[in-house]
Structure 1
Amino acid sequence: MEFTHPVRRRARRIREVLAAAVVPPMWRSGVLIPAFWWDGHPNFGDAMTPWLLPRYGVVPLHRRVAEARLIGVGSILEFVPHDYSGAVWGSGLMEERTHPLTAARFLAVRGHHTRDLVGAPADTPLGDPGILVARHLPRPRLRWEVGVVPHGHHRGNAELARLVARGGARVRVINVHQGAAAAVREIASCSVIFSSSLHGLVTADSYGIPATWTLLDPPLGGGDFKFRDYESAATPGRSRYLEFDDRLTADDVVRLGRRADADIIASLGDGLAEAIDRLRATAGELGRYPLGLLHMRADRDVRRSP
């Protein structure tokens, strides 16, 4: 059964709602909000929206963009119509093209480039929400020297496979198709990260792990834009891009890995966390968890009836 099959989608939604029940912030004043994030294939970066927000007392309920009141983590703003009037939290564009969202309420966006291209106010907080993961998952013991985090499209890249094979047991390939917490733990168990996945880089920065990023075949939509956008906020004025060729070794990755500035990452994280507090003030009346689930379900049924 495919990932996008309605039965599997429904099962994911149920797991997300149930998982929120064990998160302490939900016990006191948890709220529900219809939200959009990419759910077209398994990817730990896309799964950060339903994993992170309950830790701040918010359960996002996946909806089509037209029904959403919050846009979450990922390069997804091209999917958002120009007249969207809900909230945006840490999202980014995929392509380096103007996409004005003049009616949106910007809690945060991923980087300076996205902020300019969507027309967000100059004081909009910046950063990818994945920066927050280290605040909620303690770093495990180190198990591997090098963590390689290929984008899902790059898992079969032959040159990358040769680098991994030459590195032997010291190198771990992290599967981005697993859940958010599992992938984050594996990344955090490495001394250095080499990534063609943006959230491999973001997770490394959250834990203060030296990292580099690269571009591989097949090319990704938007090229390097999302990396440049993120680094405009996380490592302003410098890039950790490492051009890939078949001579690259695990030793090179270790030698060339660089940390983001811890103070900058902490400041971006503070802004993203504080932005969630503003969500309650800007999103209008929100249903309470868990009883609000019944009201939201009833409301959807009414809107779908003939």
Structure 2
Amino acid sequence: MRRRMRQARRLGAAALQPRAWGAPVVPAYWWDGHPNFGDALTPWLLPKYGIVPLYREPRHARLIGVGSLLEFCAEDYDGAIWGTGLMTDVERRMPNVQALAVRGPLTAERIDVSGAAYGDPGLLVSRHVARPARRAAIAAVPHGHHRSHAGLTALLKSEPGRVRDVNVHREAAPTVREIAGCETVLTTSLHGLITADAYGIPAVWTALEPALTGGTFKFHDYEAAVTPGRTRYVDFDDLRTLDDVQRFAWAADASRVAELSRGLEAALPPFAGAAAPITVTFPRGITRAFRGE
């Protein structure tokens, strides 16, 4: 029921996007088990590019977007992927997949695809959410598994008022805006790092216990596309003070981020083709015409 309510809200929001009027409705998959801003990027971004995603399980989806989702797909999946990645460092050949874009070259190698654009679509958020003028010093963006980590909690409380503790278990836009409103980002969440890169914010990432599923593979996959040969990773033991956080943090190259962003946007037009029109009625009697895909 909660998922259906989220679906209804997202379709209602899509109806208000001018580019979604008359747009194709595409069965799409993203992780929707609980609110999380990184997972919510797929249904939030696609209507801005003229595509209305309708949530479906992987076997029924024709488009899979943001996240480490390929392990959820059958190896004979023949739909499209856009910025999607693997969770773990495993070989998983997907000979029939339509790879519009993959998160990074490590995923591309493991699933044996070539010619796809690289990058996570989270890099596009700065094109749709303005960076706030008033900013805090540091945004801490812990993965949900790490919100109660004792060492991180102690570090964040060491200088009250200097750190903004970002809760990732929310929808995309407000979380992105909160991260963008800071001068430095410390994160154990991949999309904390990606959001920082979208706005050119110096960032540092670290790993805490409990370890994430797949370890740090998804971070290295992403950085192999954005900062090839370099990493913002710092061992948490070396982050003794908030000054250390700001000292170790650095920003991804803006021209590389812009290049990847253009590639991600250019990869979507195959889904903007003509299709039969359908009508969707939203809450409060709002009706919009879309094209069925």
| TM-score, length of structure 1 as denominator length | 0.90
1:256-306 superposed Cα distances (whole Å, 9 cap, x missing partner) = 11000000000000000011112335xx8475564677978xxxxxxxxxx
Aligned to 1:12: 6
Q: Is 1:23 equivalent to 2:23 in the alignment?
A: no
CA distance in 1, matches of 2:90, 2:174: 34
The aligned counterpart of 2:195 is 203
Taking the aligned partners of 2:66 and 2:292, their CA distance within structure 1 comes to 26
Larger helix proportion of the pair: 1
With over 3 angstroms needed to count, the CA separation of the structure-2 counterparts of 1:112 and 1:146, relative to structure 1, is: same
Secondary structure (helix, strand or coil) at the match of 1:252 reads helix
Q: Deviation string for 1:178-215 (max 9, x for gaps)?
A: 11001100000000000000000000000000001000
Rounded Cα–Cα distance in structure 1 between residues aligned with 2:278 and 2:259 = 30
Instruction: Determine the C-alpha separation between the residues in 1 that align with 2:14 and 2:256.
Output: 29
Aligned pair in 2 of structure 1 residues 98, 285: CA closer, same or farther (>3 Å)? farther
Distance 1:286 1:74, change over 3 A: farther
What secondary structure, in the 3-state scheme, does the structure 2 residue paired with 1:14 have? helix
**Aligned 8 A contact 1:32 1:292 in 2:** no
| Residue of structure 2 in register with 1:218 after alignment | 210
> Is residue 244 from structure 1 mapped to residue 250 from structure 2 by the alignment?
no
Q: How far apart are the structure 1 equivalents of 2:241 and 2:35?
A: 29
The 4+ residue runs of structure 1 with deviation greater than 2 A are: 278-281, 284-296
Q: Secondary structure at the match of 1:227?
A: helix
> Which sections of structure 2, spanning at least 5 residues, go unmatched?
281-287
Superposed displacement of residue 85, structure 1: 0.6
Secondary structure in 1 matching 2:255? helix
* 1:100 is the counterpart of 2:97: no
Alignment of 1:275 with 2:267, yes or no, is yes
1:31, distance to aligned residue in structure 2 (A): 1.5
* Letter paired with 2:40: A
Look up the equivalent residue of 1:110 and give its one-letter code.
R
Task: Find the counterpart in structure 1 of residue 47 from structure 2.
Answer: 54
Does the 8 Å contact 1:30/1:288 carry over to 2? no
- Residue identity in the other structure for 1:280: A
Residue segments in structure 1 that go unaligned for 5+ positions in a row: 1-6, 297-306
Aligned to 2:157, the other structure's residue is in SS state helix
CA contact (8 A) 1:163 1:246 kept: no
Please report the RMSD computed on the Cα atoms of aligned residues, expressed in angstroms: 1.8
Cα distance in 2, alignment partners of residues 216 and 235 from structure 1:
22
Distance 1:196 1:24, change over 3 A: same
Q: 1:100 is matched by which residue type in structure 2?
A: R
Give me the whole-angstrom Cα distance separating, in 1, the residues matched to 2:64 and 2:276. Answer: 15
- Structure 1 match to 2:245: 253
Deviation at 1:30, TM superposition (A): 1.6
Partners of 2:135 and 2:150 in 1: CA distance: 25
What TM-score comes out, normalization by structure 2 length?
0.93
Other-structure match for 1:304: none
Q: Percent identity?
A: 51
Given that residues 278 and 291 in structure 2 are in contact (C-alpha distance below 8 angstroms), is that contact kept between their aligned partners in structure 1? no
2:172 aligned to which of 180, 190, 205: 180
Alpha-carbon spacing, 1:280–1:30, altered in 2? closer, same or farther (3 Å): closer
Q: Aligned AA for 2:14?
A: A
Distance 1:234 1:294, change over 3 A: closer
3-state SS of the aligned residue for 1:238? Answer: coil
Q: Residue 301 of structure 1 corresponds to which residue in structure 2?
A: none
Cα deviation code 1:51-79 (max 9, x no counterpart): 00000011111001111000110001001
Correspondence 1:227 to 2:254: no
1:89–1:109 CA contact under 8 A, matched in 2: yes
| 1:88 maps to which of 67, 81, 89 | 81
Distance in 2 between residues matched to 1:62 and 1:260, nearest whole Å: 33
Q: Secondary structure at the match of 1:167?
A: coil
